[in-house]
Structure 1
Amino acid sequence: MSLADSDRELVVEELEREPTPAEAALFENLWSEHCAYRSSRPLLSAFDSEGDQVVIGPGDDAAVVALPGSEDDEADEDGDDRTYITMGIESHNHPSYVDPFDGAATGVGGIVRDTLSMGAYPIALADSLYFGEFEDEHSKYLFEGVVEGISHYGNCIGVPTVAGSVDFHSDYEGNPLVNVACVGLTNEERLVTAVAQEPGNKLVLVGNGTGRDGLGGASFASEDLAEDAETEDRPAVQVGDPYAEKLLIEANEQLVDEGLIESARDLGAAGLGGASSELVAKGGLGARIELERVHQREPNMNALEILLAESQERMCYEVTPDNVERVREIADRFDLGCSVIGEVTDGNYTCTFNGETVVDVDAYFLGEGAPMNDLPSEEPEQPETELPETSLEDAFDTVVSSPNTASKRWVYRQYDHEVGVRTSVGPGDDAAIIAIREAEQGLAISSGAAPNWTTAAPFEGARAVALENATNIAAKGATPLAAVDCLNGGNPEKPDVYGGFKGIVDGLADMCESLSSPVVGGNVSLYNDSVTGPIPPTPTLAMVGTKDGYDAPPLSLEPDTDTTVLLVGDTGLENGDLRLGGSEYLARTGGSDRFPELPADPAAVVETLAEVANDETTLAVHDVSHGGLAVALAEMVTDDAGLEASIPVPESGSETAAAAALFHEQPGRALIQTESPEVVSDAFEGVTPVVELGAVTDDGTLGIAVGDRTLTTDAGEIRDRRATIERGLE
């Protein structure tokens, strides 16, 4: 680790002396891109983070949002406090390349502790994962290790993984992405923040002992991956202990229940130095810490190691002197280590080690003094239209069996998504539904991005990602409430890479504002670059929505032959201007095209879809997205319920038009099985077109007539084709 010369000059000017080795290392980590957002913060003001539902927005360990009907300051009729959810998202990209199991596992642990530090109990996880081409053996190794790490940690701590996404793209080969979101539950009385309250209060470290793992993790995450990263950077990866985390979850719950915590911060990036300095800086205060008091699991650790180690399962609490002994008792009860390491002051942030002062700096300067980067950017070029020549039959087979559109059952069957008995709709559907019985509401959760979309058109692709997540939620009858994002990009010092990153920030912000879904928090991960090149600009969005009750229409067709399936959304068939840009069809068959236009009024589409999904005449709803209409139809068919669908296409260029009709991926569309087509048509009148596709059959066969061509496949064949991942890992 080393502090950049330009940064060292600023530090020397502020301190009026040379920094100590511990100070230099602390500044190097807290002023890194990973912690200080030096290249991204100038762009993040594009996001609208305010709303009546927003209790705490960006800047704390997690955001806090009030559920509908809980916005007023007064308690509800039963005298209960307002019901809050917390939302957070984190990346563990570089660690998951170096050590896929521990890298992914500790990503889960970190985002759960962010939830704990707000006084919330974690109730759901969502993981969005991105790897190189599935056919590549190294990608499979990373994929299997990451999924195993997530499932092991999440299952052991008893938090259900209910939603997420998996994408494969050649540009992730040298740098996979692991983005994990967590939703927690709390209320007004239990709410805790990371703002230190009062000088004289004690700083108490609770959890696992401090070791040497994870040293320099923040700086490691702020540079490109080297060719030898898997061996050379292994010490920067933390090692998790989910059983200790489970004890920490329950101990934290007890501490919150008894009102023993004044403020809290979990130990993540930059370890104790990061957590404790940020805690007091947010309160405009300082601290005095005696590093030798920190309970350790390895002998002879020096001051820098104790200060910066990113050992897992640790929390830093501000506690009044009168409550310290009770905190010790609770920690002992849960077999957790507990150290009173110092106290809050109204002076500098100081750390001593065996009587020697090793850190003496202004906490605010340490946390907020890093200068922002003013980087050049280039607008990405728009692709030319070059469409492939391939038969519809071959294209259907290829797209339906692509790893990106294939079943992800192999992934989510490894996750315990029932633990906690809140899961009403689990993984494998458009969105998950979690029962918030405290507010008698269902919470819909959708998470993901679309690297093909944002590679083709960063701005429009990111807008489409936001609309896609909102459509997933609406398909379950919920309306968007709020979102958090994980903005992943390559090396921002490259103008073309930074231009693409700027595009996804602006696109995501634009669509979320249109949907009245404030972006209340998030994470930025840059320098996702390796010897194989930069990753695609990847704006993972985790969005939640709410609905009355916990039930939702299924994704699969109901076996009722007296019903009709409708396509809701702009087909583009009227003018023949179907666009295939960003589609899995082009990714698998070659070629390029412009990205599809999005609906003129996306908020109205989402609101109306949620309304129709909750109508008693609606039997099934499924959004149309990756793979286009062909994949959405294939996913709805079951052994008991088939479909005879007819899709009209323009006479001219029928083969190309037929391919575009089946495989273009404009989001904001949905398939609806209904007993009353008039209800759907009336609801969407003036909002978006509604096209009748055909009637449900009882033979489990999907027949798609596209112009003068007909594709026929039964449900069993579709299942076999969509089992690509299981076959590839046998």
Structure 2
Amino acid sequence: MSTSPTRHLDTVKHAAGSPDAAQPWAELGLKREEYDRIREVLGRRPTGAELAMYSVMWSEHCSYKSSKVHLRQFGDKAPHSDALLVGIGEQAGVVDVGQGYAVTFKIESHNHPSYVEPYQGAATGVGGIVRDIIAMGARPIAVLDPLRFGAADHPDTRRVLPGVVAGIGGYGNCLGLPTIGGEVVFDPCYQGNPLVNALCVGVMRHEDIHLAKASGVGNKVILYGARTGGDGIGGASILASETFDAAKPSKRPAVQVGDPFQEKLLIECTLEVFAEGLVVGIQDLGAAGLSCATSELASAGSGGMRVDLDRVPLRDPSLSPEEILMSESQERMCAVVEPGKVERFLEICAKWDVIATVIGEVTDGERLEIFWHGEQIVDVPPRTVAHDGPVYERPFARPGWQDELQADDPARLARPSGGAELRAQVLRLAGSPNQAAKSWITDQYDRYVLGNTVLAQPEDGAVLRIDEETGLGIALATDGNGRYAKLDPYAGAQLALVEAYRNVAATGARPLAVTDCLNFGSPEDPAVMWQFAEATRGLADACRVLGTPVTGGNVSLYNQTGEAAIHPTPVVGVLGVLDDVARRTPMAFREEGLLLYLLGETRAEFGGSAWADVVHGHLGGLPPRVDLERERLLAEILVAASRDGMIDAAHDLSDGGLVQAVAESCVRGGRGARLVPPDGLDPFTFLFSESTARAVVAVPRSEELRFTDMCAARNQPAARIGVVDGDALELQGHFTIPLAELRETHERTLPALFG
């Protein structure tokens, strides 16, 4: 409903005089006790505009009201890190990578919108995380996209996946940002709740870091970027704060619509105003839109704020004040600028064809006051909106089925009886949707735009050059295994971390810091909250041991339809640094005669494994054992070997075990490999075990002695298991698979499903 200047407004004065007026608090997602608390905070009933602000800011997506009590561990248990410049609490974490450079990175979710409207949901997920990086003062340089979908052959997956991929590629490609990494996982548990997580990374000099705060009485508040429209009203904030229900009406209007070309202008405009020192504080407009930007800027500042909402440029002039405050229209930012610098700020915006409007100013009070054509419609303490929302200690309990699930050990499953069955199962894994090549997806992304991509998908980790002269670079990887976390959420979260940690180290980079996206079902289910509590505890404990602080991230709850929740899926991103990207290590076997070494200890560990899933459709038992000290040692070995030129290739061992890793390296490099199990290890366990803290490396013969001496000196298990040779993958005495057959099996699956 529109609200014209002459139409009756629900002003602060009117609210104070009509305490019993009915209000749609339940329709806006608030609980009765939350509504009562708002009245207590204000000493009266809220106006319609205030109710809109509290409803979106106190939503699960924005307030973390069910997860805060557990997320505090990331601060309480945070390891000391000299590299950490900005940690949890800002729009993105910032890490010192040397030579005066700082890198900011963060991962977020856009799960629910991407199911409702796959293309726009995914596209605006990319746009939102990019703006978080801009707001820190950095130039965005790359995107990663961890994705989860339902069964690969399900009809609805054919609806959702192509749209999501097109949205990520379309938005990122138009921005001129390479999409360099991520994952794609299929599992029936994600059928009604696909996970679309997006990570962005940016680079800046130390002195360029900017924070979200409104300080300095009289400083102006400037809204710039796209006009505000009706798309995305309550989008991420409310849409992502409840479970899906097939009986409810379509939520398509709640999904934002993105314009990557507008975002590109916004990036360049923002970086120029930063370069000229025109900004005191800045905030992007994402979930909760202006409600979030105004309340968070004011809350983090040293005074209050007055906003004239009728000055906001609109695409739809019929929008009411409540709708303007709740709109999550994309490509918008809010800056706090000193009065003497406003003119220059507006000049730069005009140069980039970016609409910019002064909508308010910082005041000497302690209130956020919003006016509509001179009438006051909001008068609130900003912190109560932005930071002091409800905090729930949800009941949680280990589910009764957990013991039974863990007792269902995969040791009972039939194993291959000979070479022919081993061969068939190797090919079956290589061609399964989760282990198959993802090039049908990644080829839709520009991975090399900007010219600084050194390694990209399908490598273990993506590597980017930061400084052209010195070769300074960073590596990034994201990982997560919902099957492991279903079996044991504590260990599952740690396994997500150590795989990403291992992937970064496999490129030759030293792991520095972590961002996470914690995807779970409904927090109102005690079993789900137990999973969440265990996962956060596991991740915090592991980060402390590995010395990798969590710099920030995202929680996505209510990922379930009815009673069916997704597997607990903590996705972890790890950032590492390389002194010289010329010394990075790829995964491909490219040279004949390289010696293959297996690093780490291999045990009969098949709980949650790809083999159990693909061959038997089984999920049960315990996931692989986590050994954080062994992971740290392996990383040190991989980094040192890469730096000193001892290895030509490295590939971590995870889903599918050794044989999957070797198959991928063979296909990537166009070279075959002959394998022999080390003494005491049977062929089946050798090929398919998913024991952790392991990698396979290709060592030049000239470096073998130096490499093995280093491993021995550090007590790192290292077994010679074969050689890069010929045009086939061979397990001596058991089977041979021509490389052409392996490649065809590995690469045909996704095009056949979606092509």
Deviation at 1:188, TM superposition (A): 2.5
Segment of structure 1 superposing worse, 523-532 or 45-54 = 45-54
Aligned residue in 1 for 2:716: 688
For residues 450 and 536 of structure 1, the distance between their equivalents in structure 2, rounded to whole angstroms, comes to: 9
Change (3 A) 1:227 1:306: same
CA contact (8 A) 2:107 2:554 kept: yes
For residues 10 and 244 of structure 1, the distance between their equivalents in structure 2, rounded to whole angstroms, comes to: 40
For residues 640-665 of structure 1, the C-alpha deviation after alignment (integer angstroms, 9 at most, x for no partner) is 521110114758xxxxx543332222
For residues 225-256 of structure 1, the C-alpha deviation after alignment (integer angstroms, 9 at most, x for no partner) is 12156x62111110000010000011011111
Deviation at 1:49, TM superposition (A): 6.5
Partner SS, residue 132 of structure 2:
helix
Aligned residue in 1 for 2:509: 478
Aligned residue in 1 for 2:739: 715
Partner SS, residue 240 of structure 1:
coil
Partner SS, residue 67 of structure 1:
strand
Q: Tell whether 2:222 aligns with 1:222.
A: no
Segment of structure 1 superposing worse, 438-447 or 335-344 = 438-447
For residues 532 and 390 of structure 1, the distance between their equivalents in structure 2, rounded to whole angstroms, comes to: 35
Aligned residue in 1 for 2:409: 385
| Mapping 1:68-79, distance limit 5 Å | 68=98
Aligned residue in 1 for 2:493: 462
For residues 321 and 49 of structure 1, the distance between their equivalents in structure 2, rounded to whole angstroms, comes to: 42
| Mapping 1:135-150, distance limit 5 Å | 135-150=153-168
For residues 167 and 285 of structure 1, the distance between their equivalents in structure 2, rounded to whole angstroms, comes to: 47
Aligned residue in 2 for 1:61: 91
Counterpart residue identity of residue 375, structure 2: E
Change (3 A) 1:546 1:625: same
Aligned residue in 1 for 2:638: 609
Q: Tell whether 2:755 aligns with 1:727.
A: no
For residues 197-241 of structure 1, the C-alpha deviation after alignment (integer angstroms, 9 at most, x for no partner) is 212100000000000111112022111112156x62111110000
For residues 377 and 662 of structure 1, the distance between their equivalents in structure 2, rounded to whole angstroms, comes to: 39
Paired residues, what number?
702
For residues 658 and 458 of structure 1, the distance between their equivalents in structure 2, rounded to whole angstroms, comes to: 30
Aligned residue in 2 for 1:351: 370
CA contact (8 A) 1:471 1:606 kept: yes
Match of 1:366 among 381, 385, 396: 385
Change (3 A) 1:22 1:419: same
Q: Tell whether 2:46 aligns with 1:19.
A: yes
For residues 311 and 520 of structure 2, the distance between their equivalents in structure 1, rounded to whole angstroms, comes to: 39
Deviation at 1:393, TM superposition (A): 3.1
CA contact (8 A) 1:286 1:344 kept: yes
Partner SS, residue 238 of structure 2:
helix
Counterpart residue identity of residue 571, structure 2: T
Aligned residue in 1 for 2:479: 448
Change (3 A) 1:555 1:338: same
CA contact (8 A) 2:212 2:300 kept: yes
Among all aligned residue pairs of Structure 1 and Structure 2, give the percentage whose two residues are the same amino acid: 39
For residues 30 and 640 of structure 1, the distance between their equivalents in structure 2, rounded to whole angstroms, comes to: 53
Q: Tell whether 2:591 aligns with 1:559.
A: yes
Counterpart residue identity of residue 305, structure 2: A
For residues 284 and 526 of structure 1, the distance between their equivalents in structure 2, rounded to whole angstroms, comes to: 33
Aligned residue in 2 for 1:518: 549
Match of 1:171 among 189, 195, 219: 189
Match of 2:692 among 659, 664, 667: 667
For residues 430 and 621 of structure 2, the distance between their equivalents in structure 1, rounded to whole angstroms, comes to: 20
Aligned residue in 2 for 1:405: 435
Deviation at 1:383, TM superposition (A): 3.6
Aligned residue in 1 for 2:21: none
Aligned residue in 2 for 1:208: 226
For residues 247 and 364 of structure 2, the distance between their equivalents in structure 1, rounded to whole angstroms, comes to: 45
CA contact (8 A) 1:480 1:515 kept: no
Aligned residue in 1 for 2:57: 30
For residues 640 and 83 of structure 1, the distance between their equivalents in structure 2, rounded to whole angstroms, comes to: 37
Segment of structure 1 superposing worse, 304-313 or 449-458 = 449-458
Q: Tell whether 2:252 aligns with 1:234.
A: yes
Deviation at 1:533, TM superposition (A): 1.0
TM-score (norm 2): 0.90
Counterpart residue identity of residue 623, structure 2: F
| Mapping 1:283-432, distance limit 5 Å | 283-347=301-365, 348-379=367-398, 380-381=402-403, 382-386=406-410, 387-391=412-416, 392-432=422-462
Segment of structure 1 superposing worse, 434-443 or 39-48 = 434-443
CA contact (8 A) 1:566 1:677 kept: no
For residues 83 and 285 of structure 2, the distance between their equivalents in structure 1, rounded to whole angstroms, comes to: 28
Match of 1:629 among 653, 658, 683: 658
Partner SS, residue 34 of structure 1:
helix
CA contact (8 A) 1:50 1:57 kept: no
For residues 452 and 533 of structure 1, the distance between their equivalents in structure 2, rounded to whole angstroms, comes to: 15
Deviation at 1:531, TM superposition (A): 3.3
Deviation at 1:284, TM superposition (A): 4.2
Gaps of 5+ in 1: 71-81, 573-577, 652-656
Counterpart residue identity of residue 711, structure 2: F
Aligned residue in 2 for 1:41: 68
CA contact (8 A) 2:630 2:693 kept: no
For residues 172-216 of structure 1, the C-alpha deviation after alignment (integer angstroms, 9 at most, x for no partner) is 001001110111111122221102221210000000000011111
For residues 140-195 of structure 1, the C-alpha deviation after alignment (integer angstroms, 9 at most, x for no partner) is 22111101000000000111111111111110001001110111111122221102
For residues 431 and 394 of structure 1, the distance between their equivalents in structure 2, rounded to whole angstroms, comes to: 29
For residues 287 and 480 of structure 1, the distance between their equivalents in structure 2, rounded to whole angstroms, comes to: 41
Aligned residue in 2 for 1:78: none
Aligned residue in 2 for 1:701: 728
Segment of structure 1 superposing worse, 281-290 or 611-620 = 611-620
Q: Tell whether 2:592 aligns with 1:568.
A: no
Counterpart residue identity of residue 459, structure 2: D
Segment of structure 1 superposing worse, 391-400 or 460-469 = 391-400
Segment of structure 1 superposing worse, 638-647 or 494-503 = 638-647
For residues 569-613 of structure 1, the C-alpha deviation after alignment (integer angstroms, 9 at most, x for no partner) is 1112xxxxx110111111121343322223343212211121113
Aligned residue in 1 for 2:607: 581
Deviation at 1:390, TM superposition (A): 4.7
CA contact (8 A) 1:479 1:606 kept: yes
Deviation at 1:472, TM superposition (A): 0.7
Segment of structure 1 superposing worse, 598-607 or 626-635 = 598-607
Match of 2:288 among 256, 266, 270: 270
Q: Tell whether 2:706 aligns with 1:679.
A: yes
For residues 89 and 695 of structure 1, the distance between their equivalents in structure 2, rounded to whole angstroms, comes to: 39
For residues 447 and 389 of structure 1, the distance between their equivalents in structure 2, rounded to whole angstroms, comes to: 33
CA contact (8 A) 2:231 2:257 kept: yes
Partner SS, residue 474 of structure 1:
helix
Counterpart residue identity of residue 498, structure 1: M
CA RMSD of aligned residues (A): 1.7
Deviation at 1:108, TM superposition (A): 0.4
Change (3 A) 1:316 1:539: same
For residues 49 and 264 of structure 1, the distance between their equivalents in structure 2, rounded to whole angstroms, comes to: 29
CA contact (8 A) 1:171 1:532 kept: no
| Mapping 1:88-99, distance limit 5 Å | 88-99=106-117
Counterpart residue identity of residue 745, structure 2: R
Partner SS, residue 269 of structure 1:
coil
